[in-house]
Amino acid sequence: MAHREEFETTDVVICGCGPTGAMLSAYLGQMSIRNVVLEKHDEITTDPRGIALDEDGIRLLQGVGIYQSIYTEIGSCMGRFQFVGGTDSNLDKKPFAEINLEMTQGTGHVGFLCHKQPAMEKHLRIAMASSEFCELRSGCTIDYLSEDGDWTYCRYSDAQGSRKQVRSRFFIGADGKTGFTRKHYLESRGIKMEQAHRAFYDETWVALNWKISLPNEKTHPDFPLWSLGYTPEQVYDLFFPVSFRFLCNPTRPAVCGRFGLPSDRLWRFEFVVLKDEDGEEMAQPEMIKKVVFPYITHPGTRYGLKQDITYPEDCIKVLRSRPFRFAARSCNRWSHGRVVLCGDAAHVFPPFGGQGIASGFRDAISLAWRLALLCRPQPFGPSYHDKVLSAWYLERKQQLERSLSTTIQNGQFVTESNPIKIFLRDWYFFLIRLIPWLCRSQFDGRNEMVQYKYSAGMPFIPEYSGGLCLPQVYCKAVDRPAGDVLFTDDVIFGPHKKGLFQLLVYLKSLSELTQAREEISDIEDISKGELHLEEVTFIVEDMQCNPSEAAGQDLSSVFRLANGEEFSNSPLCHRRPKALRYDPYYLGNELRGSRFVIARPDRFTFAACDNKEDLKSAALGVVAYLQGGDIRYY
């Protein structure tokens, strides 16, 4: 081994440039933290693996500056989740339950995006490349990792076969459930995957991706629907309907639906491998025909014809057909010294909730700002590192448990085989449809914002409503009435801002601005530069406010709420559903009267309070935490 002074030096090394590693790198770049990403593959895989991303995931893509590409290149709104019962292979059967994912959520986004993972990874890498602090090295294979009290030391072979060495303050394993970091380094140090939820789940499924082309009268003159006047697009819609379906077949549960852009014509079908079957065998073409093709075969009687009609097989290109073992597992610890796991390296999900990539994204942004803190010039001892990182994964495990509960509940709908439970389930959903307000609460698809439960070392003040995921709404600049509609995240956490934490002031009317500025000026000295008062964002609830109400004041950081119609008519709504049932007052309602909010970069509140004395106390807590002290002392 070479002398350690011969190692190249950087702040963070990230092993793996999948979605989690790329997201982490991009956010570290925003925070001016130098990072090197080592990826074993030369190019982005063309295999569309994950296809679903929830509202948090969309929000975090927005946060790295690629929102404009989401609906033009990456994917489209998933529309609806339909739960379909019975054993018949009928994609047009009326569902017993349906969740509308087009509703605007507490993040300002729709419930789910059905995406092309390769396109998403491409744009994440573009975000990385836009920062001078991020460097991606492809075709690299790691064969050595060690650490001491100050550094981690990594040795790898690059794409040309040359041996390279790099040391970093932290080494992040974002290399998946079978990657180098956990399997070859951390498992021998006591870190291992364990069951992550009280409801055990461990099954093999086959995941199938098809790219569909359109038949027409020239290529398929004998296809019987032409004589009935159907067009190629109509035929495609008949056999591959829009909504995403959970096929609750007690004999063989399955999930299917379109993904990517509508013009891509991509279709996913996943089905369970039964106990007496072999996963590799079930992924073969002859078994796919037995299991999947009945769903794209229609009885002729539906069209007044004698023969059954199957979508032309030569219009189907198989992009993947592979078995996967799905489980709900999480590591007992996610860090050891200066080596940290995130994404699939730290936890794995069953396929029913689209939470795999989204959870990795949440890991990435919540880890990024902590690494930015720990890479500061002032010396932090190992005990402080351990406190920060252990609080990080304890927070994340709370949200992981919530996501797993939803995922497993969806899985129970899909895989239930007990006839009595199926009967009760179907009658339950039939009855609640008769009660409009209950039906809306069950099926509008909207989620409550996450609220962390405090435990020692977590970076928020529970007495001041800390630990709440900060809602995102729409806004407009007060001094530019004809200006664009904006996301509140983009004005609160803009990439030009230097403060690690940001101060948001929520006002009922513009007339409160002068007093609010006087009150926050009192914390300038005690914040010791940790809160940049020149970066404070003011949000005014009154959508009819007039700039003349604050004549003579600087309004460049003052924004008023925007309504759903304004958003729906703005470029931000291009190719996504309009702001259905959007509540512009959701942010204020969740803050419950708090005027001052100290927000962490991961979109969670450090503290929220309604008077300047509590704000001073919260500011002292910020200084204490960011400089290595105990928050709760204040």
Express each pLDDT in 311-325 by its tens digit.
999 999 999 999 988
**Is the pLDDT confidence value at 143 over 90?**
yes
The model's pLDDT over 20-65, given as tens digits with 9 standing for 90+, comes to: 999 999 999 999 999 999 999 999 988 888 899 999 999 999 999 9
Nearest to 56 by CA among 403, 484, 331: 403
Residue 98: pLDDT band (50, 70, 90) is confident
pLDDT average, residue stretch 239-256:
93
Rounded to the nearest 10 degrees, how much is the dihedral formed by the CA atoms of 538, 539, 543, 545? -20
Q: Tell me, what's the pLDDT at 439?
A: 56
User: Nearest 5 degrees, angle CA 503-CA 506-CA 510?
Assistant: 120
Q: How far is CA 59 from CA 364, 395, 449, 473, 539, in A?
A: 13, 19, 13, 11, 19
Most trustworthy range by pLDDT among 286-300, 382-396, 440-454: 286-300
Say how many C-beta atoms besides its own lie within 10 A of residue 447's C-beta. Answer: 15
Q: Tell me, what's the pLDDT at 441?
A: 53
Distance of alpha carbon 15 from alpha carbon 162, whole angstroms: 18
Interstrand relation of 202-212 and 266-272 (parallel, antiparallel or unpaired)? antiparallel
Q: Tell me, what's the pLDDT at 382?
A: 76
Residue 238 CA to its chain's centroid (Å):
31
Burial class (CB in 10 A: 0-12, 13-18, 19+), 194: exposed
Q: Which CATH fold would you assign to the domain 8-51+116-199+328-415?
A: FAD/NAD(P)-binding domain (3.50.50)
The model's pLDDT over 267-311, given as tens digits with 9 standing for 90+, comes to: 999 999 999 999 999 999 999 999 999 999 999 999 999 999 999
Kindly indicate whether the domain formed by 462-627 is annotated with CATH number 1.10.357.10.
no
**Is the pLDDT confidence value at 432 over 80?**
no
Q: Which residue has the tokens 């992550």?
A: 196
**Is the pLDDT confidence value at 633 over 50?**
no
The model's pLDDT over 193-205, given as tens digits with 9 standing for 90+, comes to: 887 665 556 788 9
> What tokens appear for 492 in the block?
């609160």
Percentage of the chain lying above the pLDDT 90 cut: 76
Q: Are 278 and 267 in contact (CB under 8 A)?
A: no
The model's pLDDT over 504-551, given as tens digits with 9 standing for 90+, comes to: 999 999 999 999 999 999 898 898 889 999 999 999 999 999 998 888
- For residue 122, what are the contacts with CB-CB under 8 A and spacing of at least 6? 44
Q: How far is CA 508 from CA 229, 511, 585, in A?
A: 58, 8, 11
Q: Collapsing DSSP states into helix, strand and coil, what is residue 12?
A: strand
Most trustworthy range by pLDDT among 328-342, 512-526, 599-613: 599-613
Distance of alpha carbon 3 from alpha carbon 449, whole angstroms: 50
Q: Tell me, what's the pLDDT at 1?
A: 46
Q: Which residue has the tokens 């090394």?
A: 13
Q: Tell me, what's the pLDDT at 399?
A: 87
Which amino acid type is present at position 347?
H
Burial 409-438 (b: 16+ CB within 10 A, else e): ebbebbbbeeeeebeebbeebeebeeeeee
- For residue 467, what are the contacts with CB-CB under 8 A and spacing of at least 6? 451, 452, 453, 454, 458, 460, 604, 605
**Is the pLDDT confidence value at 444 over 70?**
no
Interstrand relation of 112-115 and 75-77 (parallel, antiparallel or unpaired)? antiparallel
Percentage of the chain lying above the pLDDT 70 cut: 93
Q: Tell me, what's the pLDDT at 380?
A: 74
pTM of the model: 0.94
**Is the pLDDT confidence value at 5 over 70?**
no
Distance of alpha carbon 457 from alpha carbon 464, whole angstroms: 16
Q: Tell me, what's the pLDDT at 250?
A: 92
Burial 348-368 (b: 16+ CB within 10 A, else e): bbbbbbbbbbbbbbbbbbbbb
Q: Tell me, what's the pLDDT at 476?
A: 97
CATH 3.40.30.10 placement within the chain: 462-627
Nearest to 178 by CA among 348, 338, 335: 348
Q: Return the minimum-mean-pLDDT range out of 112-126, 235-249, 349-363, 412-426.
A: 412-426
The model's pLDDT over 183-228, given as tens digits with 9 standing for 90+, comes to: 999 999 999 988 766 555 678 899 999 999 999 999 999 999 999 9
Residue 349: pLDDT band (50, 70, 90) is confident
CATH 3.50.50.60 placement within the chain: 8-51+116-199+328-415
